[in-house]
Amino acid sequence: MKNRTNRFGHGFALIGKLAAISCVLAAAGCTHAYTPNASSRMEAISPEFTATGEIALKNAQPSDQAVVFMRNMGSKFATSLRACTDVAITIARRELAARGMHSSDGAGKTLSLSVDSLETQVGAVKIQTQLVLHVTTGDGYSTKYVAENDSQMMANIPRQCNGAIMRGVKAMLSDPKIVEYLARK
């Protein structure tokens, strides 16, 4: 019986050591790199529109530095806002082409896009991502769109962020002033 007690005592000591090591590793954390992509399907744009001609889509985000957009239990997620802007441009290019407008670097009309911020908050039962997309037209109209994407726990963080980028583009293409600019001959 004495050996059995020692064996359990040793087991509890080992569990305590593993718990302590886990706490140290969690406190130290690690940073996960998120690479955005344009895989999110576009939600319906209202009002629907068509446009013809060409447009130059420009990335106006000057920084390519990685920024931390989420912290949770010692882990961090980081990405480049310039890369997020590239994805917003890819989505906008795809959606504009579907509506009859093609992208060309030398076009007379321009849309300059910049993802200014991306932030993900982890709550008790919900994960929420917020993105700010700054857009300027070639005729000087400038505005910011706040796009949110949230889901219940166990969300796929990259998919969560890709959805926020898509919703930023959706907000831009739903803005009557942007649509009027695109439709102008």
Q: Are 103 and 153 in contact (CB under 8 A)?
A: no
Q: How confident is the model at residue 157 (pLDDT cuts 50, 70, 90)?
A: confident
Residue 47 banded pLDDT, cuts 50, 70, 90: confident
**Do 43 and 22 share a domain, yes or no?**
no
Beta bridge partners of 151: 127
Same domain, 88 and 1: no
Residues 96 and 18 in one domain: no
Strand-by-strand arrangement of the 142-152 sheet? 102-103, 54-59, 109-122, 126-137, 142-152
What DSSP character marks residue 154? S
Q: Do 73 and 159 fall into the same domain?
A: yes
Residue 46 sits in the same domain as residue 118: yes
171 and 86 share one domain: yes
Residues forming beta bridges with residue 110, ordered by sequence position? 56
Higher pLDDT, 68 or 157: 68
Query: Is 73 found in the same domain as 12?
Result: no
Q: Is the pLDDT of residue 159 over 60?
A: yes
Q: 88 or 153: whose pLDDT is higher?
A: 88
Residues 111 and 128 in one domain: yes
User: What residues make up the domain containing 10?
Assistant: 1-30
Contact 86, 58 (CB under 8 A): no
The kind and range of the H/E element at 118 are strand 109-122
pTM: 0.82
Statement to judge: residues 22 and 73 lie in one domain:
no
Q: What pLDDT, on the 0 to 100 scale, is given for residue 27?
A: 45
Chain centroid offset of residue 97 CA: 22
pLDDT digits (tens, 9 = 90+) for 68-118: 999 888 889 999 999 999 999 999 999 999 999 999 999 999 999 999 999
12 and 70, same domain (yes or no): no
**Same structural domain, 156 and 121:** yes
pLDDT at 145: 98
pLDDT at 121 over 60: yes
Q: How far apart are CA 138 and CA 102, in angstroms?
A: 16
Say what the pLDDT of residue 22 is.
47
Report the domain count for the chain: 2
Tokens of 168: 């930023």
